Amino acid sequence: MRFDIGDWLSSHHAFYNLSNSGMYGVVDLKKYFKNYDAVQESAFINDIAALHGIDEKRIVVTHGATEALSLVLFHLRHLKSFNVRLPEYEPIYKVPLMLGYDHGDALNLYSMLNNPTGSMPEIKNRNNIIDETFLEFDRELSFSMKYDGYIINTFTKVFGGDDLRLGYIICPDKENANQINGYKGLLTEPVSNINTSIGHYILKDHDSIVDYVRGIVEENNKILFKNMGHLKFYNDIKPLRSPVAFIDYSYYLNDDSMDFSERLYRAGFTLVPADFFGLKGTYLRLCMTRPNFQESFSKFMEFLEKN
């Protein structure tokens, strides 16, 4: 399943990279791929259950968050309509349409923390699909928060596991988990034992990895907040301890974000335009995952001031 944001990022590699929302290339996972003993998928599932403090029978293993989202939406297709509050990550507002849903209020979809604003969405009381991919970046938040619905997650952001293709669904109960697992072989293939074994060993180092990436993101948050010049946040929504922020550059110029992002790219910068989050306007997603963020952001601010 392809999305515009992925194609755009693949074709826009600049020296000053402010577009990576995950820790790929920052967290070194090579040792986990080189040296591991195969374990049963159940070991990985038990790890996830312990991390969330839930019954392991509620967990479905997937090839990442997009597959997880698609499986849950297929499972809940009888609800027929969905609600997403923009701005939002592209798959969250496009996959339901691909699967035949109409706009409505039967099912609510969120990323938490929101991608691109880095803020905490207001969760409805029922029928939710919540993507918790960014949640662990903020040390003040917890997987123990309880919501009515389905939770999805992936190893691509906090752990930088883009090459691993590993994620999971937490269902409300084991009956729904059994039904979604039953779609494997029909809608998707089971996840390889190699993937889940590597995931198992990554989770053995969970605390040290998470502390490391939180330290990078928290320091970069401070750099952003202290050096924003005349930048603002979209609708004054200040991000929490988040790897992403949605900035408003309207003080400097009024160019549409798609046009401005192309101009930035030609000048050596990559920031993601608002269009890929369902909006038009003078907004860009700024990512704070790189150890050299201070240099890249400083050069970006110099460009704004001079142009």
Alpha helices in the chain (DSSP H): 4-10, 30-34, 41-52, 65-75, 90-98, 174-181, 193-204, 206-226, 257-266, 293-306
Sheet holding 81-84, edge to edge: 59-62, 167-170, 149-154, 128-131, 102-111, 81-84
The pLDDT-based confidence of 149 (bands split at 50, 70, 90) is very high
Q: What is the average pLDDT value for the chain, to the nearest integer?
A: 95
Q: Which amino acid is at 187?
A: L
Q: pLDDT tens digit string along 263-274?
A: 999 999 999 999
Count of Cβ atoms closer than 10 Å to residue 197 Cβ: 19
- The model's pTM is 0.96
The pLDDT-based confidence of 144 (bands split at 50, 70, 90) is low
Quote the tokens at residue 282: 């003078």
What does the alpha-carbon distance between residue 251 and residue 258 come to, in Å, rounded to a whole number?
Answer: 17
The strand pair at 283-287 and 244-248 is best described as antiparallel
What does the alpha-carbon distance between residue 189 and residue 274 come to, in Å, rounded to a whole number?
Answer: 34
What does the alpha-carbon distance between residue 255 and residue 259 come to, in Å, rounded to a whole number?
Answer: 7
Structural domains of the chain, with CATH: 4-25+207-306 (3.90.1150.10), 30-205 (3.40.640.10)
What does the alpha-carbon distance between residue 242 and residue 21 come to, in Å, rounded to a whole number?
Answer: 9
Question: Phi-psi bin for 175: left (phi > 0), alpha (psi -120 to 50), beta?
Answer: alpha
Q: pLDDT tens digit string along 252-263?
A: 999 999 999 999
What mean pLDDT comes out for the span 12-24?
Answer: 96
